[in-house]
Amino acid sequence: MRHLSGVLRSLFRCSLFRRSLFRRSLLRDSVMNRARVRRAGIALFLAMLSLMGACERPPEATSSSAGESGKMPFDRQPRRGGVSPTQAWVPSATKLPEGTTITVRLQSALSSASAHAGDTIGATLDEPVVIEGQTVIASGTPGTVRVLEAKNSNSSVEAGYLRIVLVTLKVGDRPIMIETSSIFAKGGPREEPNTASAAVSGSAHEDIVFDAGRRLTFRIAQTVDLQKSDLQDSTIH
């Protein structure tokens, strides 16, 4: 009996010892796991700080940009393909605004005695057309004058008259249709000897004649876009 009780005591002590070792092992593993988690957290925190510092750091200037930054604006080389500031403010005068005056000289004579509505004669620009300081149409540019109305003075009561307009100007290689104010001219009474027959029949009247080289000034009635290519008048030859 004594021997059995001694064996039981030894087994009980062994069991207590094993339990103590198991508890110590669990405690040691728990402490190690906590240390690992703490080290991982510290490493993550340091990595985040390093990343934030890299984002906030200004980019380093290269040697060329640093050299250019030290120069005055007028010392730097101009950039290729850029637009000049002054050039951007220069207007592109490609239109004849309403009210622009056009002065031409007739290339041939025109008379109400022989002219008919629809007739055309040639003319040349006598003065350059200048818009916003730019010469848009040069002097000597050919143009076309058209007869709107014409009547001869066959009657002794009414004088002959003409109404004409400037209809085209040749800009470059193409005629550009324009709309201008008309010019109306009427003949005056014809001077005749003071005779009894003239007094009975009444005063005769003359036809109006525009001689070759006559200087005439028209005024643009509607804005003209000189860049449009569909303004060519096929009826003008």
Distances (CA, A) of 192 to 12, 187, 189, 202, 206: 166, 15, 9, 10, 11
| Spatial CB neighbours of 148, under 8 Å, sequence gap ≥ 6 | 117, 163, 164, 165, 182
- What's the N-to-C CA distance of the chain in angstroms? 148
**Are 189 and 204 within 8 A, CB to CB?**
yes
6-10, 68-72, 200-204, 205-209: least confident range: 200-204
The Cα–Cα gap between 17 and 26 comes to 14
19-23, 94-98, 136-140, 197-201: least confident range: 197-201
16-30, 122-136, 148-162, 220-234: least confident range: 220-234
Tokens of 52: 């934030």
